[in-house]
Amino acid sequence: MAKCSELKIDFKHYLTYEELTDILKKMANRYPDLAKLVSIGKSPKGRDIWIVKITSYKTGTDKEKPGFYIDGNTHAAEVTGSMAAVYTIWHLLTKYGEDPYVTELLNTRSFYINPRVDPDGAELFLTTKYRRTHGGRLYPLSEDEWKREEGIYEEDIDEDGHILQMRIKDPNGDYKVSEKDSRLMLKRDPDETGSSYYRLYTEGNILNWDGKEIKTAPRKYGLNLNRNFPAEFFPHPQVVGAGPYPLSEPETRAVADFMRLHPNIGGLLTYHTYGGLLPRLFDAHPDQYFIDQGWEKDYAFIKALDKLAERATGYPAVSSFKEFTRDQKKPRGGTTDCYAYLILGFMGYCFELWDAAGRAGLGKYRERGGINFQESSLKEEQGLKLLAWNDEALDGNGFSNWKAFNHPQLGSVEIGGWKKFTIRNPPSGKFLEEECENAFTFSLKHASLLPSIQIADVKVTSISTGIFRIEVTIENQGFLPTNISQLALKKGLAKPIVVEIEFNDAELVTGRKWIKIDRLEGRSERLPEMIAQPSASDRTRKTVEWLLKAKKNSKIKIKAISEKAGTDKREIKIEL
Instruction: Look at residue 434 and tell me whether its pLDDT is greater than 90.
Output: yes
Instruction: Look at residue 528 and tell me whether its pLDDT is greater than 80.
Output: no
> What's residue 536's pLDDT?
53
Q: Tell me the mean pLDDT in the region 33-45.
A: 97
> What's residue 535's pLDDT?
54
Residue 229, in any domain of the structure: no
- pLDDT band of residue 537 (cuts 50, 70, 90) is low
Q: Are residues 474 and 431 in the same domain?
A: no
Instruction: Look at residue 5 and tell me whether its pLDDT is greater than 80.
Output: no
Count the helix, strand and coil residues of the chain and give each as a percent rounded to the nearest 5.
Answer: 30, 30, 45
Residue 223, in any domain of the structure: no
450-476: burial string, b at 16+ Cβ within 10 Å, e else: bbbbbbbeeebeeeeeeebebebbbbb
**What integer best gives the mean pLDDT of the chain?**
93
For residue 289, which amino acid is it?
Y
> What's residue 532's pLDDT?
47
Helix axes 100-108, 441-448, angle to 10 degrees: 50
Closest among 13, 14, 55 to 34, alpha carbons compared: 55
> What's residue 545's pLDDT?
95
Q: Are residues 361 and 350 in the same domain?
A: no
Are residues 522 and 478 in contact, defined by beta-carbon separation less than 8 angstroms?
yes
CA 375 to the chain's CA centroid: 24
Q: Are residues 273 and 407 in the same domain?
A: no
Q: Are residues 461 and 435 in the same domain?
A: no
- pLDDT band of residue 2 (cuts 50, 70, 90) is very low
Peptide bond into 408 cis (omega under 30): no
For residues 321 and 67, what is the distance between their CA atoms, to the nearest angstrom?
27
Which H or E run includes 399? strand 399-407
> What's residue 511's pLDDT?
83
Q: Are residues 114 and 250 in the same domain?
A: yes
Instruction: Look at residue 333 and tell me whether its pLDDT is greater than 80.
Output: yes
For residues 266 and 324, what is the distance between their CA atoms, to the nearest angstrom?
24
For residues 331 and 315, what is the distance between their CA atoms, to the nearest angstrom?
23
Closest among 111, 485, 104, 445 to 305, alpha carbons compared: 445
Q: Are residues 247 and 346 in the same domain?
A: yes
Instruction: Look at residue 321 and tell me whether its pLDDT is greater than 60.
Output: yes
Q: Are residues 260 and 349 in the same domain?
A: yes
Instruction: Look at residue 50 and tell me whether its pLDDT is greater than 50.
Output: yes
CA-to-CA dists, residue 77 to 69, 132, 208, 237, angstroms: 21, 7, 27, 21
> What's residue 551's pLDDT?
87
Closest among 342, 330, 337, 353 to 293, alpha carbons compared: 342
Q: Are residues 193 and 260 in the same domain?
A: no
Give the SS3 label for residue 118: coil
Are residues 283 and 348 in contact, defined by beta-carbon separation less than 8 angstroms?
no
Q: Are residues 262 and 344 in the same domain?
A: yes
Residue 389, in any domain of the structure: no
Rg of the chain in Å (alpha carbons): 28
Are residues 519 and 481 in contact, defined by beta-carbon separation less than 8 angstroms?
yes
Residue 391, in any domain of the structure: no
State the Cα angle at 518 between 515 and 520, rounded to 5°: 110
Residues 6+ apart with CB under 8 A from 69: 111, 112, 113, 114, 259, 262, 265, 267, 268, 269, 340, 348
- pLDDT band of residue 502 (cuts 50, 70, 90) is very high
Neighbours of 551 (CB within 10 A): 9
Residue 186, in any domain of the structure: yes
> What's residue 557's pLDDT?
96
Instruction: Look at residue 63 and tell me whether its pLDDT is greater than 90.
Output: yes
> What's residue 209's pLDDT?
92
Q: Tell me the mean pLDDT in the region 79-105.
A: 97
CA dihedral 162, 163, 169, 174 (to 10 degrees): -130
Give the SS3 label for residue 338: helix
Are residues 413 and 168 in contact, defined by beta-carbon separation less than 8 angstroms?
yes
Q: Tell me the mean pLDDT in the region 269-277.
A: 96
- Residue 532 sits in a domain of what CATH number? 2.60.40.10
Q: HEC string of 223-278?
A: CCHHHCCCCCCCCCCCCCCCCCCCCCCHHHHHHHHHHHHCCCEEEEEEEEECCCEE
pTM, two decimals, is 0.95
State how many domains the chain has: 3
Q: Are residues 156 and 261 in the same domain?
A: no
For residues 20 and 18, what is the distance between their CA atoms, to the nearest angstrom?
5
Residue 33, in any domain of the structure: yes
- pLDDT band of residue 529 (cuts 50, 70, 90) is low
Q: Are residues 184 and 310 in the same domain?
A: no
Query: What tens digit of pLDDT does each residue of 125-154 get?
Result: 999 999 888 888 999 999 999 999 999 999
Q: Are residues 341 and 458 in the same domain?
A: no
Residue 403, in any domain of the structure: yes
- pLDDT band of residue 553 (cuts 50, 70, 90) is confident
- Residue 323 sits in a domain of what CATH number? 3.40.630.10
CA-to-CA dists, residue 91 to 87, 318, 364, 415, 456, angstroms: 6, 27, 27, 42, 31
The half-sphere exposure of 170 on its side-chain side, counting CA atoms within 13 A, is 17
- pLDDT band of residue 3 (cuts 50, 70, 90) is very low
Q: Tell me the mean pLDDT in the region 46-54.
A: 98
Instruction: Look at residue 167 and tell me whether its pLDDT is greater than 70.
Output: yes
Q: Tell me the mean pLDDT in the region 472-496.
A: 96
Query: What tens digit of pLDDT does each residue of 176-223 get?
Result: 999 999 999 999 999 999 889 999 999 999 999 999 889 999 989 999
For residue 521, which amino acid is it?
E
Which of 319-323, 337-341, 391-395, 535-539 is predicted with the least confidence, judged by mean pLDDT? 535-539
For residues 382 and 153, what is the distance between their CA atoms, to the nearest angstrom?
29
Which of 341-350, 385-394, 475-484, 530-539 is predicted with the least confidence, judged by mean pLDDT? 530-539
Range of the domain at 150: 141-217+357-372+397-418
Instruction: Look at residue 421 and tell me whether its pLDDT is greater than 70.
Output: yes
Residue 34, in any domain of the structure: yes
Strands 7-9 and 35-42: unpaired
